[in-house]
Structure formats: structure tokens, C-alpha cells
Amino acid sequence: MNMLQIILNEHHLVATTERRDFAASVMLCAVENEVDEAVCLIVEGGYSSVMISNSDGETPLHFAIVKRNSQLMEFLMRQDHADGIVTAITKRGDSPAHYAARYGAVRELETLLHRLVIMFGDLQTLNVENNPLNATNNEGSTCLYLAGLGRVNSIDHHEERDAIAQLLLQHGARLFRRDTIVICSRSGLSEQILLHDQARRGVATWVREIIERNNENTADDDDADGLDVRSSNVLLTELCAEWVATVVSLSSHSSAIAKECHPNWPDLAAVLHIVISAGYALEFMPLLLELPLLRSGLAAVLHRLERFSSFPRVHVLLLQLHTELSGALVEITGD
């Protein structure tokens, strides 16, 4: 550390890439390599502020979150009395909360949430738009959406992912902005509804995850787990069949559009019913998600989605997606 201090004292003589401030470059390097003592020396010695960033706009706090170093996070946040580092965003629009949701463990998210509560008060009582957890990055993703779809996707990581999601939900987080859940288009007397691409991706990913998790938990259809698997498959079949029925209802309300999109839709619908009933609901789910629904039939689909999300085990993210879709339906219908 003495040698580092000597170098820092003469840092104006040192050239860095892209002509960046030398002390700031050392600071970012120290955080990335988790040399906490060096970080303390640089900050407390006044060589560099914590409010610095690399070429991607990542601050030392972003780095500390990726490294899952909650002690370093606390130190950095204490040094920034203006709290700017807590809400600083990268060039991709990611705040520390986005990074904590995507890269952090529960401890790192708790550390950041504690600071956010000090700054904003009880996050759950804030308006949805004012809650910093519901800010979106440049891709339109919220913290909860990144927690659900941006983390490592494997069986081993589901437990940590679910804990992160629960913690975010307890602080008022949402999966989507209100205007990125469904897409509505009027045609004649009927209204077609199509799920937004983020919502479609969420449904497709988490439905498959539920089925794969159930299959992972049992290899014997005769035990209790086997019964759960069969029940879950039945619920998925019912969900997909309801989806097809709603699309059929749409075609009857706007036959001209249905014929224009697919002149043989009744035959296609019959085929879909057959293959779904034969046990291929999961395989055809991505196709169904691309089909528009009749607004009046969406409630029945959502009811099936809720049942599937809740049994045999609650899938917190898919159930939250159901909640937000239901809220969007209420806003659309005014009921």
C-alpha cells in the first residue's frame, strides 16, 4: 500500500489508456479485483471520487455488485453523501438495481435496497412509476424482468433467482411497464389483443421451466411427484386449449381478417386442438403466443394461466405476469 500511495502521489506523471485519470483507473481496477484496502486508500486519501465510471458507464458500485462484494458496496455508498452512485446508470441504462437483480445474490440486493429505502422511503408505497426498481434500461427491461430472464438459466440457479424475485416483489417491483404488456388493435366491432414481446418471452420461458422442473423432480409416474407432473401437464393442456378457443372466437368475430391471415384457420385450429390434447402443448406454446386473442376471451385464458402458475408449486414470476396481465385487462376494459 505504501508503494501505491507513492505512485498515486505522482499520478500526474503516469499516462493511461484513453487519457483517463490514473487514480480513477486504479480505483476501478482495485474494485474489479476486490482489493478492498486499495479502494479505501484511494477514496479516503482523496485521490479519486467514488462517482467515476469506465467507458461503458459502469461505476465502482456496479463492479462491486458483479463481484458480489456487499462490504465493498456498503463502503462505496457511504462515501457518496449525495447518493448519486446508487442511481447512476450505465450507457445501456442499467442502474445498480438492474445489476443487483441480474448479477447479485440476495445479500447484495438487500444491501442496495436498504440504501434505496433510506433515500426514497418504503418502496412498496410509492407509485409504480416513482419506484426506482421499476425504471427500465435501454432495452425496456425492469429489475424484476432481468432477475427472471437475464440471470443464468439452470436448475441450480432457480432457488437464488426466486429469492431475488420475491425480495423485489416485496419492495413493489413489476415485470413490465404498463404500456409493454399487451398490444391492442381494433378491427370492426372486435378488439384483438396480442401479448407484448417481453410478455410472450416470459410466458414461453417460465412455462417450459415449470414443465422441465417437474420432470427433473421425478422419474417415476407412480409416486406423488408423478401425480404432480401429470396434473401440471393437464393444466398446461387446458391453458393451450383455451388459448386456441379464444383465437377461434376471434376468427368468428372478424372472419374477413381471419381469412386474410389464414384462409384455412378452422382446419388449423382443429389440428392444434388435436396435437395439444395429444401431449404437445409445450411444443406449440411459442406458436400460440404469436396469435392474437379476442379481448372478451382473455379473462378465461388468464384464469387457466393462474391455475397453471399455482400448482403443484407456485411459480412466483409467472404468477406475477398473470397479475400484471390481469391489471392490463382491467385497464383495457374499464371493468
pLDDT band at 176; cut points 50, 70, 90: very high
User: Are 72 and 31 a contacting pair, CB within 8 Å?
Assistant: yes
Q: How far apart are CA 313 and CA 335, in angstroms?
A: 30
User: Are 294 and 186 a contacting pair, CB within 8 Å?
Assistant: no
pLDDT in tens, 238-271: 999 999 988 765 555 554 444 455 556 667 788 8
**What's the pLDDT at 157?**
81
- Domain extent listing, the chain: 49-170, 187-333
Question: 250 or 291, which is more confident?
Answer: 291
Which 3 state secondary structure label does DSSP give 293?
strand
Q: Give the up-direction half-sphere exposure of residue 84: CA atoms within 13 A in the CB hemisphere.
A: 10
pLDDT in tens, 97-148: 999 999 999 999 999 999 999 999 999 999 999 999 999 999 999 999 999 9
Q: What percent of the chain has pLDDT over 70?
A: 82
pLDDT in tens, 46-83: 888 999 999 999 999 999 999 999 999 999 999 988 88
Pairs from 80-88 (Cβ < 8 Å, separation ≥ 24) = 80/50, 80/51, 83/115, 83/119, 84/51, 85/50, 85/51, 85/59, 85/60, 85/61, 86/61, 86/112, 86/115, 86/116, 86/119, 87/132, 88/51, 88/53, 88/57, 88/59, 88/61, 88/62
Mean pLDDT across the stretch 214-221? 66
CATH hierarchy code of domain 49-170:
1.25.40.20
Which residue spans within the chain are E strands per DSSP? 182-187, 190-195, 293-294
- Report whether pLDDT(200) > 60: yes
Query: Which of 27, 44, 130 shows the shortest CA–CA distance to 87?
Result: 130
- Output the average pLDDT for the chain: 86
Mean pLDDT across the stretch 15-32? 78
Provide the whole-model pTM. Answer: 0.88
pLDDT band at 17; cut points 50, 70, 90: low
